[in-house]
Amino acid sequence: MAGERIKLEVSERTSLGSSESRRLRKQGIVPGILYGRTEPVAIAVGERELRAALTTSAGSHVVLDVAVDSGREHSAILKDYQRDKVRGTITHIDLQEVRLDQPIQTAVVVTLVGEAAGTKEGGVLSQVVNEVNVEALPLEVPQHIEIDVSALQIGDSLRLADIEAPAGVTFLDDPEETVLASVAAPSRVEELEGEEGEEAAAEGEEPTAEGEAAADGGEEAADEAASDEG
């Protein structure tokens, strides 16, 4: 469902830095940044209020009427966020101020509905992409794109060109190259799984220092992302 608007009260943060952000999180407050049409503003919002705003029927595409310190409201969308790896709670948010009369570009989740005809004959349905890129006015961005796969037989695939975009929405991905779903014969699926298993086994035999370094780098990047820009 598109068109959802929720008011979100936030406060401006005057104290910045990683230690201050950790202190806020312990109090159930999420630090963040509101990127406006002028200068970004460091903000803080209650985790409970934020979760309620992002779990409406519009999901993460809800339009937030952000009031900073109970002042003028800014229409904004969720630009990015970080989650705690263990608890799954949001630890930082980035909001982007938008104009409701100007289109935005964003990614929308693809949801498959129906039972593919080919699966009744032993075929295996695969979802090839999980998201598609779209352009629409902020209040016309759908929560998800539903794709009916009922007519797919073994060997069939469904491309972006085969479906109609919702009213007010423009698909940005290549319509012919973007395969949404396909139904493969059982023998072919087993073949592919066997090839993947062999590749995984080969990679597992020779762990390298390079791989270990990449993992360490990922942890450092995650730590930096969790801290404020300021």
Query: Which has the closest alpha carbon to 63: 12, 111, 1, 114?
Result: 1
Query: Which pTM does this prediction carry?
Result: 0.71
Residue linked to tokens 């949801």 = 111
Question: pLDDT tens, 83-93?
Answer: 888 888 889 99
| 170 band by pLDDT with thresholds 50, 70 and 90 | very high
Surface-to-core class of residue 199, CB atoms within 10 Å of its CB (0-12 exposed, 13-18 middle, 19+ buried): exposed
Decide if pLDDT at 214 tops 60: no
Decide if pLDDT at 2 tops 70: no
Question: pLDDT tens, 11-37?
Answer: 998 888 888 888 888 888 999 999 986
Q: Residue 228: its pLDDT value, please?
A: 44
DSSP state, 62?
P
Decide if pLDDT at 62 tops 80: yes
Query: Which has the closest alpha carbon to 46: 81, 10, 16?
Result: 10
Q: Which residue has the higher pLDDT, 113 or 228?
A: 113
Could you tell me the domains of the chain? 5-98 (2.40.240.10), 105-201 (2.170.120.20)
Q: Residue 4: its pLDDT value, please?
A: 78
Average pLDDT, the chain: 83
Question: pLDDT tens, 35-54?
Answer: 986 789 999 999 999 999 98
Among positive and negative, which fits the CA dihedral 20, 98, 137, 45?
positive
Residues 6+ apart with CB under 8 A from 180: 110, 112, 127, 128, 129, 132, 147, 157, 158, 159, 160, 162, 163
